[in-house]
Amino acid sequence: MAPRSKTTRLAAASPGSIAAAAACLRAGGLVAVPTETVYGLAADATSDAAVATIYAAKDRPAINPLIAHVLDLEAAREHAVFGPEAERLANAFWPGPLTLVLPVAPTCRISLLARAGLETVALRSPAHETARALIEAAGAPLAAPSANRSGRVSATTAAHVVADLDGRVDWILDGGPCRYGLESTIVEIIAGLPRLLRPGAITREAIESALGSPIESAVGSPAAPNAPGQLASHYAPNADLRLGAADARADEAALDFAGLLKESAAGARLDLSPAGDLIEAASHLFSYLRALDAGGAARIAVAPIPDYGLGAAINDRLRRAAAPRTG
Say if residue 142 is in the same domain as residue 286: no
Does 106 map to a domain?
A: yes
pLDDT class of 262 with cuts at 50, 70, 90: confident
Percent of the chain with pLDDT over 70: 91
Buried b (16+ CB within 10 A) or exposed e, 109-130: ebbebbbbebebbbbbbbbbeb
Counting the structural domains of the chain, the total is: 2
Does 166 map to a domain?
A: yes
Least trusted range by pLDDT, from 56-60, 77-81, 157-161, 165-169: 56-60
Say if residue 249 is in the same domain as residue 312: yes
Does 3 map to a domain?
A: no
Most confidently modeled of 59-63, 219-223, 225-229, 266-270?
266-270
Question: Which pLDDT does position 2 carry in this prediction?
Answer: 47
Q: Which residues constitute the domain of residue 274? A: 240-322
pLDDT class of 1 with cuts at 50, 70, 90: very low
Say if residue 282 is in the same domain as residue 150: no
Does 290 map to a domain?
A: yes
Contacts of 143 (CB under 8 A, 6+ apart): 42, 43, 44, 45, 50, 51, 54, 66, 67, 68, 69, 110, 111, 114
In 3D, which of 110, 112, 101, 127 has the Cα closest to residue 44?
A: 110
Does 17 map to a domain?
A: yes
Say if residue 251 is in the same domain as residue 211: no
Say if residue 275 is in the same domain as residue 144: no
The model's pLDDT over 186-226, given as tens digits with 9 standing for 90+, comes to 999 999 999 999 999 999 999 999 999 999 998 655 545 56
Least trusted range by pLDDT, from 154-158, 222-226, 256-260, 309-313: 222-226
Say if residue 185 is in the same domain as residue 312: no
The model's pLDDT over 118-163, given as tens digits with 9 standing for 90+, comes to 999 999 999 999 999 999 999 999 999 999 988 789 999 999 999 9
Q: Could you write out the DSSP letters of every residue in 224-268?
A: B-SSTT-SSS-SB-SSEEETT-SB--TTEEEEESTT-SBP-S-S-
Taking the chain, what is the end-to-end CA distance rounded to the nearest angstrom? Answer: 14
Say if residue 261 is in the same domain as residue 211: no
Q: How would you classify the pairing of strands 216-217 and 240-242?
A: unpaired
Question: Which pLDDT does position 224 carry in this prediction?
Answer: 52
Does 223 map to a domain?
A: no
Say if residue 47 is in the same domain as residue 181: yes
Question: Which pLDDT does position 219 carry in this prediction?
Answer: 64
Say if residue 185 is in the same domain as residue 280: no
| φ, ψ (nearest 5 deg) of residue 101 | -105, 115
Taking residue 267's Cβ as centre, other Cβ atoms within 10 Å add up to: 15
Question: Which pLDDT does position 228 carry in this prediction?
Answer: 62
Least trusted range by pLDDT, from 187-196, 216-225, 252-261, 271-280: 216-225
Say if residue 212 is in the same domain as residue 256: no
Burial group, residue 2, by CB count within 10 angstroms (0-12, 13-18, 19+): exposed
pLDDT class of 325 with cuts at 50, 70, 90: low
Does 247 map to a domain?
A: yes
Does 115 map to a domain?
A: yes
Please tell me the pTM assigned to this model: 0.89
Question: Which pLDDT does position 116 carry in this prediction?
Answer: 87
Say if residue 269 is in the same domain as residue 148: no
Averaged pLDDT for residues 231-256: 85
| Helix (H), strand (E) at residue 35 | none
More confident: 68 or 327? 68
Averaged pLDDT for residues 112-122: 93
Question: Which pLDDT does position 263 carry in this prediction?
Answer: 72
Is residue 165 helix, strand or coil? helix
Distance of alpha carbon 255 from alpha carbon 289, whole angstroms: 8
CATH number for the domain spanning 83: value is 3.90.870.10
pLDDT class of 234 with cuts at 50, 70, 90: low
More confident: 304 or 251? 304
Say if residue 213 is in the same domain as residue 303: no
